[in-house]
Amino acid sequence: MRLNQFIAHNLPCSRRQADRLIAEGQVKINHTLATFTTPFKPQDKIFINSQLLRPKSQHFSVVVYHKPKGELVSLRDDRGRRTIFESLEARYRHFTPIGRLDFASSGLLLLSDSKLVVDALMHSQLEREYLIKIEGSVGARMLEAMQNGIEIKGLGGAHPKSKLESMRLAPMSCHIIKNHRHYSKLKLTLCEGQNREIRRFFAYFKTPVLDLKRVRFGFTHLNALPVGKTRYLNPKEYRHLHQFLEGAEHA
């Protein structure tokens, strides 16, 4: 783990704020002034403004929520729309969503009480798998763009407040379940999670998305979890998560 990650995980601050602390000479490792690249070990003592930083417990929780359509992945909404935290139990109030699903989408949403876990999973290349229903058929140009990736221009399918008019989309795996001129069903697998990436992809081809549901995030599957319900990761999923975190730490 990098020093700024460690500080951000154990203090109520962001990585950028942790960088500032290091740049200003406020961080020491075993009483030696630290830089951005100073290595450290678990047994080392880290001081912030001469105060010993006491690491948080390494215990954490991750829950799977089957988000229904019509909920925002947000703590509150200034337009009064329903948020996931109005449906989730109060004990999950301090959990942070790992990525997002837009208001009209449903499916698997992970949440954790660990900033480290949230950051690692959100910026990972773990596969995200979606079931999609679109209006019309899947054409050759669309399949080629899925296989090779594409640079899209325009704000079709984007969030109304988005100013990102150009987006480079990486190749995605596609399994066509049904291909018909009225509507088609397919399973898409992505290794990144750009904002509204799928909706913007199909909007580029003037193809309305009728339904979008995430069914897998890495080693975690939605399976038969009912809509609006939650569950903790099972022991096998936690083992996979710990292995992933260990690998990310040494990357």
Helix extents (H) in 11-157: 15-23, 84-87, 115-122, 140-148
Measured CA to CA in angstroms, residue 138 lies from 23, 182, 205, 213 at distances of 52, 11, 10, 18
Q: Which residue has the higher pLDDT, 75 or 54?
A: 75
What average pLDDT does the structure give for the chain? Answer: 90
Listed residue (133, 230, 226) closest to 176, CA to CA: 133
Tokens standing for residue 86: 């109005």
Catalytic-residue membership of 102:
yes
Supply the pLDDT for residue 181. 94
Task: Report, as an integer, the average pLDDT of 40-50.
Answer: 86
Q: In angstroms, rounded to a whole number, what is the distance separating the alpha carbons of residues 189 and 58?
A: 31
Q: What is the pLDDT of residues 23-44, one digit of tens each?
A: 999 999 998 999 999 988 867 8
Q: What is the reported pTM?
A: 0.76
| Residue that has been written with the tokens 């580029």 in this structure | 204
Task: Identify any residues that bridge with 110 across adjacent strands, giving them in sequence order.
Answer: 64, 98
pLDDT at 104: 95
β partners of residue 51: 48
Angle between helices 235-249 and 115-122 (to 10 degrees): 80
Residue with tokens 């969503």: 97
pLDDT band at residue 53 using 50, 70 and 90 as cut-offs: confident
Q: At 194, is the pLDDT very low, low, confident or very high (cuts 50, 70, 90)?
A: confident
- Per annotation, catalytic residue among 77, 102, 113, 119: 102
The enclosing H or E element of 147 equals helix 140-148
Instruction: Spell out where 94-200 has E strands.
Output: 96-98, 106-112, 128-135, 150-153, 166-169, 173-178, 183-190
